[in-house]
Chain A
Amino acid sequence: MDTAASEVSRPKLRVATTSLAGCFGCHMSLLDIDEHLFELAQLVDFDRSPITDIKHCGPCDVGLIEGGVCNAENVHVLREFRRNCKILVAVGACAVNGGLPAQRNHLDLGACLQQVYQFRDGVAQPQIPNDPELPLLLDKVHPIHEVVRIDYFVPGCPPSGEALWKFLTDLIAGRTPRLSHPLLHYD
Protein backbone atom coordinates (compact mmCIF):
# COMPACT_ATOMS: atom_id res chain seq x y z
CA MET A 1 0.00 0.00 0.00
CA ASP A 2 1.23 3.44 -0.83
CA THR A 3 1.04 4.97 2.64
CA ALA A 4 2.70 8.21 1.56
CA ALA A 5 -0.05 8.87 -0.98
CA SER A 6 -2.83 8.05 1.48
CA GLU A 7 -1.26 10.38 4.03
CA VAL A 8 -1.34 13.19 1.52
CA SER A 9 -4.89 12.54 0.36
CA ARG A 10 -6.25 12.32 3.89
CA PRO A 11 -8.11 15.57 4.69
CA LYS A 12 -6.82 17.60 7.58
CA LEU A 13 -8.61 17.13 10.87
CA ARG A 14 -10.38 20.16 12.28
CA VAL A 15 -9.59 20.82 15.95
CA ALA A 16 -11.21 23.29 18.35
CA THR A 17 -9.90 24.09 21.82
CA THR A 18 -11.18 26.13 24.72
CA SER A 19 -10.48 26.92 28.34
CA LEU A 20 -13.47 26.91 30.71
CA ALA A 21 -12.59 27.19 34.42
CA GLY A 22 -8.99 26.58 33.44
CA CYS A 23 -5.73 28.43 33.92
CA PHE A 24 -4.55 28.12 30.29
CA GLY A 25 -1.79 25.86 31.58
CA CYS A 26 -3.02 22.94 29.47
CA HIS A 27 -2.85 25.16 26.39
CA MET A 28 0.69 26.15 27.37
CA SER A 29 1.48 22.47 27.69
CA LEU A 30 0.12 21.95 24.18
CA LEU A 31 2.54 24.64 22.99
CA ASP A 32 5.25 22.73 24.88
CA ILE A 33 5.29 20.18 22.07
CA ASP A 34 7.59 22.82 20.56
CA GLU A 35 8.73 21.98 17.01
CA HIS A 36 6.03 19.28 16.78
CA LEU A 37 3.69 22.27 16.37
CA PHE A 38 4.86 22.46 12.75
CA GLU A 39 3.93 18.80 12.24
CA LEU A 40 0.63 19.41 13.99
CA ALA A 41 -0.09 22.33 11.65
CA GLN A 42 0.38 19.92 8.72
CA LEU A 43 -2.09 17.47 10.21
CA VAL A 44 -4.86 19.70 11.58
CA ASP A 45 -6.63 23.02 11.09
CA PHE A 46 -7.72 24.94 14.16
CA ASP A 47 -11.31 26.07 14.57
CA ARG A 48 -12.41 28.08 17.61
CA SER A 49 -9.47 28.28 20.02
CA PRO A 50 -7.65 30.83 22.16
CA ILE A 51 -4.92 30.64 19.48
CA THR A 52 -7.31 31.60 16.62
CA ASP A 53 -9.75 34.46 16.15
CA ILE A 54 -12.81 32.27 15.48
CA LYS A 55 -15.65 33.24 17.82
CA HIS A 56 -17.83 30.13 17.68
CA CYS A 57 -17.10 26.47 17.25
CA GLY A 58 -18.09 25.05 13.86
CA PRO A 59 -18.20 21.39 12.83
CA CYS A 60 -14.97 19.78 14.05
CA ASP A 61 -13.39 16.39 14.39
CA VAL A 62 -11.80 17.00 17.79
CA GLY A 63 -12.55 19.39 20.64
CA LEU A 64 -10.01 19.81 23.42
CA ILE A 65 -11.52 21.19 26.64
CA GLU A 66 -9.39 22.56 29.43
CA GLY A 67 -10.89 23.54 32.80
CA GLY A 68 -13.93 22.49 34.76
CA VAL A 69 -17.36 24.11 34.63
CA CYS A 70 -17.73 26.97 37.11
CA ASN A 71 -20.21 29.43 35.56
CA ALA A 72 -23.15 29.65 33.15
CA GLU A 73 -21.05 30.68 30.16
CA ASN A 74 -18.84 27.60 30.64
CA VAL A 75 -21.96 25.45 30.26
CA HIS A 76 -22.98 27.18 27.00
CA VAL A 77 -19.49 26.91 25.52
CA LEU A 78 -19.17 23.26 26.55
CA ARG A 79 -22.52 22.39 24.95
CA GLU A 80 -21.52 24.27 21.77
CA PHE A 81 -18.36 22.17 21.61
CA ARG A 82 -20.27 18.95 22.22
CA ARG A 83 -22.76 19.79 19.45
CA ASN A 84 -19.99 20.45 16.95
CA CYS A 85 -17.17 18.06 17.81
CA LYS A 86 -17.19 14.40 16.88
CA ILE A 87 -14.66 13.65 19.60
CA LEU A 88 -14.60 15.68 22.79
CA VAL A 89 -11.56 15.41 25.05
CA ALA A 90 -11.22 16.46 28.69
CA VAL A 91 -7.69 17.83 29.01
CA GLY A 92 -6.13 18.32 32.43
CA ALA A 93 -7.14 17.74 36.04
CA CYS A 94 -9.77 20.52 36.07
CA ALA A 95 -11.71 19.11 33.14
CA VAL A 96 -11.29 15.56 34.42
CA ASN A 97 -12.36 16.01 38.06
CA GLY A 98 -12.93 19.73 38.71
CA GLY A 99 -9.34 20.20 39.79
CA LEU A 100 -8.10 22.65 42.37
CA PRO A 101 -10.92 25.16 41.63
CA ALA A 102 -13.32 22.50 42.96
CA GLN A 103 -11.79 23.08 46.38
CA ARG A 104 -14.36 25.89 46.63
CA ASN A 105 -17.14 23.28 46.57
CA HIS A 106 -17.29 23.06 50.34
CA LEU A 107 -17.61 26.84 50.72
CA ASP A 108 -20.77 28.92 50.48
CA LEU A 109 -20.69 30.79 47.16
CA GLY A 110 -22.26 33.96 48.55
CA ALA A 111 -19.72 34.04 51.35
CA CYS A 112 -16.89 33.59 48.80
CA LEU A 113 -18.09 36.53 46.69
CA GLN A 114 -18.59 38.70 49.75
CA GLN A 115 -15.13 37.85 51.03
CA VAL A 116 -13.52 38.96 47.76
CA TYR A 117 -15.69 41.88 46.61
CA GLN A 118 -17.11 43.33 49.85
CA PHE A 119 -15.12 42.51 52.96
CA ARG A 120 -11.59 42.55 51.58
CA ASP A 121 -9.41 45.39 52.79
CA GLY A 122 -8.75 48.16 50.29
CA VAL A 123 -11.79 47.65 48.03
CA ALA A 124 -13.00 51.11 46.97
CA GLN A 125 -16.70 50.48 46.29
CA PRO A 126 -17.49 47.14 47.91
CA GLN A 127 -20.26 45.32 46.02
CA ILE A 128 -20.69 41.96 44.36
CA PRO A 129 -20.63 42.56 40.56
CA ASN A 130 -24.19 42.17 39.27
CA ASP A 131 -24.18 43.30 35.62
CA PRO A 132 -26.17 40.80 33.48
CA GLU A 133 -23.24 40.75 31.05
CA LEU A 134 -21.31 38.76 33.66
CA PRO A 135 -22.01 35.02 33.79
CA LEU A 136 -23.34 33.82 37.13
CA LEU A 137 -21.22 31.33 39.01
CA LEU A 138 -22.58 27.84 39.62
CA ASP A 139 -22.80 26.89 43.29
CA LYS A 140 -20.28 24.09 42.64
CA VAL A 141 -17.43 23.48 40.19
CA HIS A 142 -18.09 20.39 38.08
CA PRO A 143 -15.94 18.09 35.98
CA ILE A 144 -17.04 18.47 32.34
CA HIS A 145 -18.25 14.86 32.11
CA GLU A 146 -21.03 15.79 34.53
CA VAL A 147 -22.42 18.20 31.89
CA VAL A 148 -21.80 16.51 28.51
CA ARG A 149 -20.54 13.14 27.31
CA ILE A 150 -16.76 12.98 27.02
CA ASP A 151 -14.90 10.61 24.71
CA TYR A 152 -11.35 10.78 26.08
CA PHE A 153 -9.64 11.99 29.23
CA VAL A 154 -6.06 13.25 29.43
CA PRO A 155 -5.20 13.76 33.11
CA GLY A 156 -2.38 15.89 34.50
CA CYS A 157 -2.05 19.38 35.95
CA PRO A 158 -1.10 19.99 33.24
CA PRO A 159 -0.57 16.92 31.05
CA SER A 160 2.99 17.11 29.73
CA GLY A 161 3.66 18.17 26.17
CA GLU A 162 4.88 14.61 25.53
CA ALA A 163 1.61 13.18 26.82
CA LEU A 164 -0.48 15.54 24.68
CA TRP A 165 1.65 14.79 21.61
CA LYS A 166 1.33 11.04 22.19
CA PHE A 167 -2.43 11.40 22.64
CA LEU A 168 -2.90 13.57 19.54
CA THR A 169 -0.67 11.48 17.28
CA ASP A 170 -2.51 8.32 18.40
CA LEU A 171 -5.86 9.99 17.75
CA ILE A 172 -4.89 11.47 14.38
CA ALA A 173 -3.43 8.17 13.20
CA GLY A 174 -6.65 6.37 14.11
CA ARG A 175 -5.19 4.43 17.04
CA THR A 176 -6.94 4.24 20.40
CA PRO A 177 -4.97 6.81 22.44
CA ARG A 178 -3.05 5.25 25.29
CA LEU A 179 -1.15 6.91 28.11
CA SER A 180 0.80 4.77 30.53
CA HIS A 181 3.66 5.22 32.96
CA PRO A 182 5.54 7.59 32.78
CA LEU A 183 3.30 9.79 30.58
CA LEU A 184 0.36 9.27 32.92
CA HIS A 185 0.25 11.53 35.96
CA TYR A 186 -2.36 13.54 37.85
CA ASP A 187 -0.18 16.29 39.31
Chain B
Amino acid sequence: MSGTFLFDGQPVPFEDGQTILQAARAAGHYVPHLCWHPDFPAHGSCKLCIVKVAGRHVSSCAMPAKDGMEVESNTPEINGERRALLQMLFVEGNHFCPSCEKSGNCQLQALAYELEMLTPRFNHFFPDRPVDASHPDVLLDFNRCIFCELCVRASRDVDGKNVFALTERGIHKHLAVNAESGRLADTDFSAGDRAASICPVGVILTKRVGFASPIGARKYDAQPIRVVAMQEDE
Protein backbone atom coordinates (compact mmCIF):
# COMPACT_ATOMS: atom_id res chain seq x y z
CA MET B 1 0.00 0.00 0.00
CA SER B 2 1.37 3.35 -0.95
CA GLY B 3 0.18 6.70 0.28
CA THR B 4 1.21 10.08 1.60
CA PHE B 5 2.20 11.36 5.01
CA LEU B 6 3.05 14.80 6.32
CA PHE B 7 6.71 15.46 7.13
CA ASP B 8 7.09 18.75 9.01
CA GLY B 9 3.90 19.83 7.26
CA GLN B 10 5.08 18.81 3.78
CA PRO B 11 3.31 15.97 1.94
CA VAL B 12 5.67 13.02 1.35
CA PRO B 13 4.65 10.10 -0.87
CA PHE B 14 5.80 6.58 -0.02
CA GLU B 15 5.77 3.07 -1.46
CA ASP B 16 4.79 -0.01 0.47
CA GLY B 17 7.61 -1.13 2.80
CA GLN B 18 9.38 2.20 2.98
CA THR B 19 10.29 3.61 6.37
CA ILE B 20 9.66 7.21 7.32
CA LEU B 21 13.38 7.96 6.87
CA GLN B 22 13.58 6.36 3.42
CA ALA B 23 10.49 8.11 2.11
CA ALA B 24 11.44 11.48 3.59
CA ARG B 25 14.92 11.18 2.12
CA ALA B 26 13.56 10.22 -1.30
CA ALA B 27 11.40 13.35 -1.17
CA GLY B 28 14.46 15.49 -0.41
CA HIS B 29 14.07 15.88 3.35
CA TYR B 30 17.20 15.24 5.41
CA VAL B 31 16.76 13.30 8.63
CA PRO B 32 19.84 13.16 10.89
CA HIS B 33 21.27 9.65 11.26
CA LEU B 34 24.51 7.88 12.23
CA CYS B 35 23.92 4.12 12.26
CA TRP B 36 21.58 4.12 9.26
CA HIS B 37 23.16 3.62 5.82
CA PRO B 38 21.31 3.36 2.50
CA ASP B 39 23.04 0.06 1.65
CA PHE B 40 22.09 -1.70 4.88
CA PRO B 41 18.94 -2.56 6.83
CA ALA B 42 17.96 -0.31 9.72
CA HIS B 43 19.97 -0.76 12.91
CA GLY B 44 18.26 1.52 15.41
CA SER B 45 21.15 2.11 17.83
CA CYS B 46 22.05 5.77 17.41
CA LYS B 47 18.48 7.13 17.75
CA LEU B 48 19.50 10.31 15.95
CA CYS B 49 16.72 9.78 13.39
CA ILE B 50 13.96 10.05 15.99
CA VAL B 51 10.85 11.86 14.89
CA LYS B 52 7.58 12.56 16.64
CA VAL B 53 4.55 10.68 15.35
CA ALA B 54 1.19 10.92 17.09
CA GLY B 55 2.84 12.21 20.27
CA ARG B 56 5.45 9.45 20.41
CA HIS B 57 9.15 9.58 19.66
CA VAL B 58 10.01 6.82 17.17
CA SER B 59 13.08 5.84 15.16
CA SER B 60 12.27 6.91 11.62
CA CYS B 61 14.78 4.39 10.20
CA ALA B 62 12.68 1.51 11.54
CA MET B 63 9.14 2.90 11.52
CA PRO B 64 7.15 2.01 8.38
CA ALA B 65 5.43 4.98 6.76
CA LYS B 66 1.66 4.95 7.02
CA ASP B 67 -0.89 6.87 5.04
CA GLY B 68 -1.91 10.14 6.67
CA MET B 69 0.56 10.09 9.57
CA GLU B 70 1.91 13.43 10.76
CA VAL B 71 5.67 13.42 11.37
CA GLU B 72 7.60 16.13 13.20
CA SER B 73 11.37 16.10 12.66
CA ASN B 74 13.01 19.52 12.46
CA THR B 75 11.47 20.95 15.64
CA PRO B 76 13.12 22.38 18.79
CA GLU B 77 11.84 19.42 20.82
CA ILE B 78 13.22 16.70 18.54
CA ASN B 79 16.45 18.54 17.77
CA GLY B 80 16.98 19.08 21.50
CA GLU B 81 16.69 15.35 22.08
CA ARG B 82 19.07 14.67 19.19
CA ARG B 83 21.56 17.13 20.70
CA ALA B 84 21.38 15.35 24.06
CA LEU B 85 22.02 12.01 22.33
CA LEU B 86 25.07 13.50 20.60
CA GLN B 87 26.33 14.85 23.93
CA MET B 88 26.07 11.36 25.40
CA LEU B 89 28.05 9.90 22.50
CA PHE B 90 30.72 12.57 22.88
CA VAL B 91 31.31 12.00 26.62
CA GLU B 92 31.22 8.21 26.33
CA GLY B 93 34.22 8.20 24.00
CA ASN B 94 37.44 10.13 23.62
CA HIS B 95 36.41 12.55 20.90
CA PHE B 96 39.45 14.83 20.85
CA CYS B 97 38.68 16.29 17.42
CA PRO B 98 41.78 18.57 17.30
CA SER B 99 44.05 15.54 16.85
CA CYS B 100 41.69 13.17 15.03
CA GLU B 101 42.43 12.31 11.41
CA LYS B 102 38.71 12.08 10.73
CA SER B 103 38.02 15.66 11.81
CA GLY B 104 36.15 17.47 9.03
CA ASN B 105 35.13 14.15 7.48
CA CYS B 106 33.34 12.77 10.55
CA GLN B 107 29.57 12.29 10.61
CA LEU B 108 29.34 12.51 14.41
CA GLN B 109 31.19 15.82 14.41
CA ALA B 110 29.25 17.18 11.42
CA LEU B 111 25.94 16.30 13.06
CA ALA B 112 27.03 18.04 16.27
CA TYR B 113 27.76 21.14 14.17
CA GLU B 114 24.41 20.77 12.43
CA LEU B 115 22.60 20.68 15.76
CA GLU B 116 24.79 23.47 17.18
CA MET B 117 26.19 21.42 20.03
CA LEU B 118 28.50 23.79 21.92
CA THR B 119 29.47 21.49 24.76
CA PRO B 120 29.21 17.77 25.59
CA ARG B 121 27.78 19.04 28.94
CA PHE B 122 27.94 15.73 30.82
CA ASN B 123 30.94 14.43 32.75
CA HIS B 124 33.40 12.60 30.55
CA PHE B 125 33.94 8.87 30.82
CA PHE B 126 37.49 8.97 29.39
CA PRO B 127 37.50 5.29 28.32
CA ASP B 128 40.83 3.52 28.08
CA ARG B 129 40.81 0.96 25.27
CA PRO B 130 44.21 0.34 23.68
CA VAL B 131 44.71 1.23 20.03
CA ASP B 132 45.18 -1.74 17.67
CA ALA B 133 47.94 -0.79 15.22
CA SER B 134 48.88 -4.40 14.42
CA HIS B 135 47.56 -4.40 10.85
CA PRO B 136 50.03 -3.12 8.22
CA ASP B 137 47.50 -0.84 6.51
CA VAL B 138 44.73 -0.05 8.99
CA LEU B 139 44.62 1.39 12.51
CA LEU B 140 41.80 0.96 15.07
CA ASP B 141 41.09 3.53 17.81
CA PHE B 142 38.33 1.88 19.83
CA ASN B 143 37.79 4.94 22.06
CA ARG B 144 35.92 6.73 19.26
CA CYS B 145 33.43 3.94 18.53
CA ILE B 146 29.72 4.81 18.60
CA PHE B 147 28.56 1.18 18.19
CA CYS B 148 26.69 1.72 14.91
CA GLU B 149 27.83 -1.75 13.79
CA LEU B 150 28.31 -0.57 10.20
CA CYS B 151 31.76 -2.21 10.09
CA VAL B 152 30.33 -5.37 11.64
CA ARG B 153 27.56 -5.47 9.03
CA ALA B 154 29.79 -4.52 6.09
CA SER B 155 32.44 -7.08 6.97
CA ARG B 156 29.93 -9.87 7.52
CA ASP B 157 27.38 -9.13 4.78
CA VAL B 158 29.44 -7.46 2.03
CA ASP B 159 33.04 -8.59 2.51
CA GLY B 160 32.09 -12.06 3.77
CA LYS B 161 34.86 -11.93 6.37
CA ASN B 162 33.12 -11.30 9.69
CA VAL B 163 36.11 -9.40 11.09
CA PHE B 164 34.31 -7.24 13.68
CA ALA B 165 31.83 -7.73 16.51
CA LEU B 166 30.40 -5.83 19.45
CA THR B 167 31.06 -7.58 22.73
CA GLU B 168 30.10 -7.27 26.42
CA ARG B 169 27.12 -5.36 27.78
CA GLY B 170 25.96 -1.96 28.96
CA ILE B 171 28.63 0.73 29.19
CA HIS B 172 31.28 -1.99 28.85
CA LYS B 173 30.10 -2.78 25.33
CA HIS B 174 32.91 -2.28 22.84
CA LEU B 175 34.07 -3.14 19.38
CA ALA B 176 36.19 -6.28 19.13
CA VAL B 177 38.14 -8.04 16.40
CA ASN B 178 37.14 -11.62 15.64
CA ALA B 179 40.54 -13.27 16.00
CA GLU B 180 41.91 -15.62 18.62
CA SER B 181 44.44 -12.92 19.57
CA GLY B 182 41.96 -10.05 19.20
CA ARG B 183 44.40 -8.35 16.83
CA LEU B 184 43.38 -7.02 13.41
CA ALA B 185 46.63 -8.33 11.92
CA ASP B 186 45.48 -11.87 12.63
CA THR B 187 42.38 -11.58 10.43
CA ASP B 188 42.02 -11.53 6.65
CA PHE B 189 40.96 -7.86 6.80
CA SER B 190 42.30 -5.64 4.03
CA ALA B 191 42.26 -1.88 3.43
CA GLY B 192 40.16 -2.42 0.30
CA ASP B 193 37.28 -4.02 2.23
CA ARG B 194 33.95 -2.23 2.42
CA ALA B 195 34.27 -2.34 6.19
CA ALA B 196 37.51 -0.36 6.00
CA SER B 197 35.83 2.75 4.64
CA ILE B 198 32.38 2.67 6.19
CA CYS B 199 33.11 3.92 9.72
CA PRO B 200 31.21 7.22 10.22
CA VAL B 201 33.67 8.32 12.92
CA GLY B 202 37.44 7.90 13.47
CA VAL B 203 37.73 4.27 14.60
CA ILE B 204 38.88 2.53 11.41
CA LEU B 205 41.64 4.60 9.82
CA THR B 206 43.83 3.77 6.85
CA LYS B 207 47.46 4.29 7.80
CA ARG B 208 49.73 6.89 6.18
CA VAL B 209 46.94 8.95 4.61
CA GLY B 210 45.85 11.06 7.59
CA PHE B 211 45.52 14.85 7.37
CA ALA B 212 45.79 14.68 3.56
CA SER B 213 42.96 17.14 2.86
CA PRO B 214 43.65 20.78 3.64
CA ILE B 215 41.31 22.44 6.13
CA GLY B 216 38.57 23.98 4.03
CA ALA B 217 38.55 21.10 1.52
CA ARG B 218 37.28 18.38 3.86
CA LYS B 219 33.91 16.75 3.41
CA TYR B 220 31.89 18.92 5.79
CA ASP B 221 33.94 22.13 5.65
CA ALA B 222 32.07 24.02 2.96
CA GLN B 223 28.60 22.57 3.41
CA PRO B 224 26.83 21.14 6.46
CA ILE B 225 25.94 17.47 6.68
CA ARG B 226 22.28 18.15 5.86
CA VAL B 227 23.44 19.22 2.39
CA VAL B 228 26.30 16.74 1.89
CA ALA B 229 24.29 13.71 3.00
CA MET B 230 21.58 14.37 0.41
CA GLN B 231 24.07 14.65 -2.46
CA GLU B 232 25.63 11.22 -2.15
CA ASP B 233 25.13 7.78 -0.76
CA GLU B 234 27.74 8.35 1.95
Contact = CB atoms under 8 A, between A and B. Distances in A.
A100 B119 contact: no
Contacts of A150: 119
A93 B97 contact: yes
B87 to A, nearest CB: 10
B4 interface: no
A154 B118 contact: yes
B103 A186 contact: yes
Interface in B192-234: 215, 221-222, 224
Contacts of B123: 146
Nearest to A186: B97
Interface string A143-155: 1011000101111
Given A157-B97, A157-B98, A97 B124 contact: yes
B113 A187 contact: no
B97 A187 contact: yes
Contacts of B113: 180-181, 184-185
Nearest to B129: A106
A140 B96 CA distance: 15
Contact of A98 (B124, B221, B224): B124
B114 interface: yes
A187 B100 contact: yes
- Chain B interface helix/strand/loop/mixed: loop
Contacts of A179: 116, 118
A187 B116 contact: no
B97 A102 contact: no
Contacts, number: 74
A96 B97 contact: no
B104 interface: yes
Given A105-B126, A181-B113, A186-B112, A153 B118 contact: yes
Interface in A72-101: 90, 93, 96-100
A141 B114 CA distance: 28
Interface residues of A, number: 30
B190 interface: no
A106 B128 contact: yes
Contacts of A90: 119
Contacts of B99: 100, 103
A98 B123 CA distance: 11
A140 B126 CA distance: 10
Nearest to B218: A187
A181 B121 contact: no
A93 B96 contact: yes
Nearest to A155: B118
Interface string B69-94: 00000000000000000000011001
Contacts of A98: 124, 126
Contacts of B126: 98, 102, 105-106, 140
Contacts of A96: 118-120
B119 A145 contact: yes
A99 B98 contact: yes
B96 A100 contact: yes
Contacts of B96: 93, 97, 99-100, 102-103
11 contacts: A93-B96, A96-B118, A97-B119, A100-B98, A100-B99, A102-B126, A106-B126, A157-B98, A179-B116, A180-B116, A184-B118
Interface of A: 90, 93, 96-100, 102-103, 105-106, 140, 143, 145-146, 150, 152-155, 157, 178-182, 184-187
Interface of B: 90-91, 94-100, 103-104, 109, 112-114, 116, 118-121, 123-124, 126, 128, 215, 221-222, 224
